[in-house]
């Protein structure tokens, strides 16, 4: 006997779990299938924040923002090739998505700055703990409380269709069950990106061949193949993002929030070389242009105290420390006088409010409290912008340009929201908002069928 359900969700990252919660709230029976032995996907590794405009936490902190500015920043960061309709959905629902997460028990009350944003709108838990793990946990708890049927070690290998443009279910390969079919009225593809699959990354962007990746092992792109085999069209696959600050020593990504909270980037000569809070593509290219193809993220004790995430980096022993700037420079083999001058000049810019070298817009604090710290950083593959083509209701568009009935997609597996370059903080925003929409729309479709 074949199993039946209303909605099957492929993937248990943020997009999949948000879809599960919203589909359950719309009254649908839901099965979530996750190929890995642990839930949370790449979402649980997200370290920055969730971009949202005109929110309650912003209002509390006196931050004035507009949804339109978030739209403009996102389009500009994406080099204007984003699908503007999807960007509008992202920004216009972002504040509601913060409220929705908060109602599920998440703490999104700290607001900081990420690259490419002209306003502080990166929402994260108080104290700056990792946003992804926090959001993934809140969504997991909510999905479990709503009795979504979540199965780990369960890979979807095919989306089944009726031959007339409508999905009918999925073929599952369970690590402990063998193959089986679940019939479903609607399927939500929420399988994430393929940054961990370097062969595939290099196919689209040869410059990234052999690069390390910041992603979890499941970010291979097999979910994208499952969707395209079932007829889905794709967009923007050639755009792959490197995150500028990966620690080659620790094998971890260092969150952009360290720069957002005040760190600068210096090269081996002890000099700044870029606006640290520019977009990720530009910051990565600038680091690769330095001697040794890496740089140092430099900050003081006030930055450390502003972001609890930094304590984790200290535990990983990737943070060099000096009681004085000179001691730190000596440890790094950097000319101390040059580094002192760089910091002095930068602190002057903080005071005057104008970065006369690189036009960094936001300089939240002077680097003047000892001890001083430095983390060596280099770019690593981080996010795949392209993917399944969707419309504003997260419905999947086929290669023939028609909607595939009953097929929805959300999160990193989709393309169009971020254009050629994703802004830090827009991934969590994307997965929560489009995950919610996909779940609700899939439930509605299932009900009507
Ligand atoms: P997003 O941020 O878009 O939610 P994530 O990477 O957080 O993306 O989550 C995607 C999840 O989907 C991962 O946990 C990944 O292991 C899972 N996944 C990918 N492909 C499949 C598949 N074919 N079947 C089941 N799960 C999959």
The Å distance, Cα 219 to ligand 1 centre, comes to 7
pLDDT at 412: 98
pLDDT at 127: 82
Q: Enter the ipTM.
A: 0.99
User: What sign results for the dihedral spanned by CA atoms 87, 406, 37, 135?
Assistant: positive
State the chain's mean pLDDT as an integer.
96
Spatial strand order in the sheet of 110-112: 50-51, 122-124, 110-112
Residue of 24, 121, 272, 280 with catalytic role: 280
Q: Please say whether the beta carbons of 381 and 214 come within 8 A.
A: yes
**121 Cβ below 6 A of ligand 1:** no
Inter-residue long-range contacts of 195-203, CB under 8 Å, 24+ positions, other chains counted:
195/42, 195/219, 195/240, 195/381, 195/382, 195/383, 195/384, 196/220, 196/381, 197/221, 198/381, 201/240, 201/381, 201/384
The Å distance, Cα 250 to ligand 1 centre, comes to 25
pTM, entire model? 0.92
**CA distance linking residue 250 with residue 57, whole number of Å:** 33
Which of 18, 41, 150 is the pocket-test mutation for ligand 1 (most atoms within 8 Å of CB)?
A: 41
**115 Cβ below 6 A of ligand 1:** no
The Å distance, Cα 16 to ligand 1 centre, comes to 8
pLDDT at 392 over 70: yes
- Residue 266, both tokens: 């210096």
**387 Cβ below 6 A of ligand 1:** no
Specify the ligand 1 atom closest to the Cα of 36: 16
Specify the ligand 1 atom closest to the Cα of 38: 14
pLDDT band at 1 (very low <50, low <70, confident <90, very high): low
The Å distance, Cα 132 to ligand 1 centre, comes to 14
pLDDT at 348 over 70: yes
Query: Among 7-11, 124-128, 374-378, where is mean pLDDT lowest?
Result: 124-128
Nearest by Cα to 363 from 300, 416, 408? 300
Q: What average pLDDT does this structure show over 414-437?
A: 97
pLDDT at 191 over 90: yes
**35 Cβ below 6 A of ligand 1:** yes
pLDDT at 215: 95
**83 Cβ below 6 A of ligand 1:** no
Q: Whose CA is nearest to atom 19 of ligand 1?
A: 191
Pairing of strands 30-33, 3-10: parallel
Compute how many other C-beta atoms are within 10 angstroms of the C-beta atom of residue 365.
Answer: 16
Catalytic residue list contains 280? yes
* 266-323 tens-digit pLDDT: 999 999 999 999 988 899 999 999 999 999 999 999 999 999 999 999 999 999 999 9
**11 Cβ below 6 A of ligand 1:** yes
**132 Cβ below 6 A of ligand 1:** no
The Å distance, Cα 215 to ligand 1 centre, comes to 11
Radius of gyration of the chain (CA): 22
pLDDT at 174: 96
* 106-124 tens-digit pLDDT: 999 999 998 899 999 999 9
Specify the ligand 1 atom closest to the Cα of 216: 6
pLDDT at 416: 98
**220 Cβ below 6 A of ligand 1:** no
The Å distance, Cα 43 to ligand 1 centre, comes to 9
Which three-class secondary structure state does DSSP give residue 198? helix
Q: What average pLDDT does this structure show over 20-24?
A: 98
* 220-250 tens-digit pLDDT: 999 999 999 999 999 999 999 999 999 999 9
Which of 20, 22, 35, 46 is the pocket-test mutation for ligand 1 (most atoms within 8 Å of CB)?
A: 35
pLDDT at 449: 87
pLDDT at 171 over 80: yes
Q: Whose CA is nearest to atom 17 of ligand 1?
A: 11
**156 Cβ below 6 A of ligand 1:** yes
CA angle 233, 175, 146 (to 5 degrees): 75
Pairing of strands 387-389, 414-415: parallel
CA angle 312, 314, 315 (to 5 degrees): 65
Q: What average pLDDT does this structure show over 113-142?
A: 93
Angle between helices 14-25 and 131-145 (to 10 degrees): 30
Give the Å distances, CA to CA, from 102 to 52, 58, 142, 171, 186.
Answer: 13, 14, 12, 35, 28
**190 Cβ below 6 A of ligand 1:** yes
The Å distance, Cα 384 to ligand 1 centre, comes to 13
CA angle 410, 413, 414 (to 5 degrees): 65
Angle between helices 426-448 and 94-103 (to 10 degrees): 80
pLDDT above 70 covers what percent of the chain? 100
pLDDT band at 130 (very low <50, low <70, confident <90, very high): confident
**430 Cβ below 6 A of ligand 1:** no
Helix extents (H) in 334-413 = 336-352
């Amino acid at each position: 006997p074949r199993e039946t359900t209303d909605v099957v969700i492929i993937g248990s990252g943020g997009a999949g779990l948000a879809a599960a919660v919203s589909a359950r709230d719309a009254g649908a029976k839901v099965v979530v299938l996750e190929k890995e032995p642990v839930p949370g996907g790449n979402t649980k590794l997200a370290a920055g924040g969730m971009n949202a405009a005109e929110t309650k936490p912003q209002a509390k902190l006196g931050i004035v923002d507009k949804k339109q500015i978030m739209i403009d920043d996102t389009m500009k960061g994406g080099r204007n090739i984003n699908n503007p309709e999807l960007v509008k959905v992202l920004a216009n629902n972002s504040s509601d998505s913060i409220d929705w997460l908060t109602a599920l028990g998440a703490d999104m009350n700290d607001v900081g700055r990420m690259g490419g944003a002209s306003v502080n709108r990166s929402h994260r838990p108080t104290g700056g703990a990792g946003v992804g793990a926090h959001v993934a946990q809140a969504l997991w708890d909510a999905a479990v409380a709503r009795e979504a049927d979540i199965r780990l070690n369960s890979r979807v290998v095919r989306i089944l269709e009726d031959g007339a443009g409508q999905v009918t279910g999925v073929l599952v390969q369970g690590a402990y069950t063998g193959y089986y079919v679940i019939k479903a009225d609607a399927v939500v593809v929420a399988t994430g990106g393929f940054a961990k699959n370097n062969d595939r990354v290099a196919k689209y962007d040869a410059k990234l061949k052999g690069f390390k990746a910041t992603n979890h092992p499941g970010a291979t792109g097999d979910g994208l193949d499952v969707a395209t085999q079932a007829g889905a069209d794709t967009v923007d696959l050639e755009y792959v993002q490197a995150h500028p600050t990966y620690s080659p020593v620790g094998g971890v990504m260092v969150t952009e929030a360290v720069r957002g909270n005040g760190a600068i980037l210096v090269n081996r000569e002890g000099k700044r070389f870029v606006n640290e809070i520019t977009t990720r593509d530009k910051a990565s290219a600038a680091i690769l242009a330095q001697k040794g193809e890496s740089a140092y993220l430099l900050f003081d004790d006030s930055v450390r105290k502003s972001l609890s995430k930094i304590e984790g980096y200290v535990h990983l022993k990737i943070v060099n420390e000096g009681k004085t700037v000179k001691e730190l420079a000596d440890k790094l083999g950097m000319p101390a006088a040059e580094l002192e001058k760089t910091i002095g000049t930068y602190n002057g810019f903080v005071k005057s409010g104008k970065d006369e070298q690189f036009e960094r817009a936001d300089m939240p604090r002077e680097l003047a409290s000892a001890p001083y710290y430095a983390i060596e950083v280099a770019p690593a593959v981080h996010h795949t912008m392209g993917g399944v083509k969707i419309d504003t209701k997260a419905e999947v568009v086929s290669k023939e340009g028609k909607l595939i009935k009953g097929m929805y997609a959300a999160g990193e597996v989709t393309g169009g929201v971020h254009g050629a370059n994703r802004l830090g903080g827009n991934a969590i925003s994307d997965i929560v908002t489009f995950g919610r929409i996909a779940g609700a729309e899939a439930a509605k479709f299932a009900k009507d069928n």
